[in-house]
Chain A
């Protein structure tokens, strides 16, 4: 069964290869490029499904598959590993990527050059960040992801995008420097960059080294918290979301969740109860930072008129809720937070794809891209409407999907957003859990409710102005644009219906995260593959 381990590497290697291959094709062959991109993304999706299934059915011991790069034993070589959480995030990435890609087919991917290559490199970086078990390797995958995202934010080069892109690049370069300083300090204090090895060494550090390590972790956290847009590090987010083209924004929505993922993974691994004096280090920063982010997001959402900024501030709210919930470090709350993560990411991605279609009601569709088309003279750009079939009842479709997005984002019944928030509340108010009982739980509760209220007010105002205005003209929608949104929302509906089994799964994920010893043992004790000399001759 050893070859199965190599499948862990597939979500990283395949996008790398197909992204590189796509560079070779001229933009004129955009159908072919789209096809290659789609096949590659689809194989990644299939692999993610398989990993999701395999890690949960204990295909590997403890549900953790370890891949030793170049067959070096754990603390010395680079480790990639797939556990339940990583598999879940890979699946979410693959679903969003497929949706964004299909959406981009009819016009956005033809706006500029190398969209498909950059898209595949972005996928490679994101998947790598989820799978890696080594801090420096994480940095490399982050940079791959960021470099691709710089290109994608600038995709369809116009003044707005270049202004937003410049700030986005500088903010992320700065956070990369913080990342590097953090890594250097951690290495200086502990002598290792392997996450599992690091976690096993923390308890035994001397006081001087411990201080150095905690400084390093705090500096490292600045980098991740910038990605996950914690106040006051998240001012770049709404501007970038507004400027980038919709399929890219859908991927950016996911990228804020990567910051949250890394915090979940690293923080729970390094500062578990086994970490001695360092246990729970920085939890309050996450909790209060998350609350402030929530408040900031709610105020920003109420103040914004533009749909793009509304999406941006909704992402800020979602990050804030997640950070605050993670800050408690309680398994029950983390499974609820993961449910919220899935539901809010899917709904937000659907929303950012949707608002571009809704904007066509407000502005005549044809003039929309005139500005961006100038920069790159592509042959097919002159007839972007040619592909795909227009769907009937466009207004009804837009209205219904908008209502569904709004319900999920505001957390109102009957869709998955409500279940997510309800399970967070239920855990916070649980009588039996003493550690969750503090005045701050009430503050968090009120903040979540207020932010939901802010979301529903802002979204209703937007919806009323758009759909009930007398000048609304039904826009022409293509099936490739409507289908991804429908699929994303259908997944949210499925999450609502299958909330029970999903919660069971997420509880197993959270339980895994709270047993860091399993993770450490699996990585450190992973045997290198010894190939008997006889096997070559067979």
Chain B
């Protein structure tokens, strides 16, 4: 399971980086999305992979931590998803504004000079 997840994160990340370096703003935003998926998965697995373990603890009794998943990365990843989603949406608005004002979807707001 570790290998599969590591590969998935690696592929998402490399695709994201490649798209980030493209000149069109739409490619950049897809790149940002892929990167944020990769980062979110990465945070999630930092709580160690486990199967069939609930993240919550019952109160009132002394518990064995090895029976439970670490709840903190799960809480962190929720926050990170929300923030990443909001800021990417904001970038989408700016992207559309730029397309409307400059008439091009190049990230510099103007086409590269044709030689």
Any B CB within 8 A of the CB of A426? no
Q: Are B90 and A162 in contact (CB under 8 A)?
A: no
Range of interface residues on B (Cβ < 8 Å): 20 to 34
Q: Are A170 and B28 in contact (CB under 8 A)?
A: yes
Q: Are B39 and A177 in contact (CB under 8 A)?
A: yes
Q: Are B90 and A150 in contact (CB under 8 A)?
A: yes
Q: In the docked arrangement, what's the CA distance between A184 and B73, Å? A: 8
Any A CB within 8 A of the CB of B76? yes
A165 — which chain B residues lie within 8 A by C-beta? 94
Range of interface residues on A (Cβ < 8 Å): 20 to 34
B53-80: CB near A (< 8 Å → 1, else 0) gives 0000000000000000000110010011
Tell me whether A181 and B90 are in contact in the complex, defined as CB-CB below 8 angstroms, given that A187-B46, A187-B73 are known contacts.
no
What would be 6 A-B contacts, judged by CB atoms less than 8 Å apart? Answer: A162-B101, A166-B95, A166-B98, A169-B87, A181-B42, A184-B73
Any A CB within 8 A of the CB of B86? yes
Select B90's contact among A158, A169, A176, beta carbons within 8 Å.
Answer: A169
Q: Are B97 and A136 in contact (CB under 8 A)?
A: no
The smallest beta-carbon distance between A152 and chain B, in angstroms, is 12
B98 — which chain A residues lie within 8 A by C-beta? 162-163, 166
* Contact residues, A180-200 vs B (CB, 8 A): 180-181, 183-185, 187-188, 193
For A177, the closest partner residue in chain B by CB is B39
A187 — which chain B residues lie within 8 A by C-beta? 46, 72-73, 76
Q: In the docked arrangement, what's the CA distance between A187 and B76, Å? A: 11
The smallest beta-carbon distance between A489 and chain B, in angstroms, is 35
Tell me whether A183 and B76 are in contact in the complex, defined as CB-CB below 8 angstroms, given that A159-B109, A162-B98, A166-B109 are known contacts.
yes
Q: Are B79 and A184 in contact (CB under 8 A)?
A: no
The smallest beta-carbon distance between B40 and chain A, in angstroms, is 8
Q: Are A140 and B79 in contact (CB under 8 A)?
A: yes
Any B CB within 8 A of the CB of A174? yes
The smallest beta-carbon distance between A79 and chain B, in angstroms, is 15
Q: Are B25 and A188 in contact (CB under 8 A)?
A: no
Q: In the docked arrangement, what's the CA distance between A183 and B76, Å? A: 10
Any A CB within 8 A of the CB of B50? no
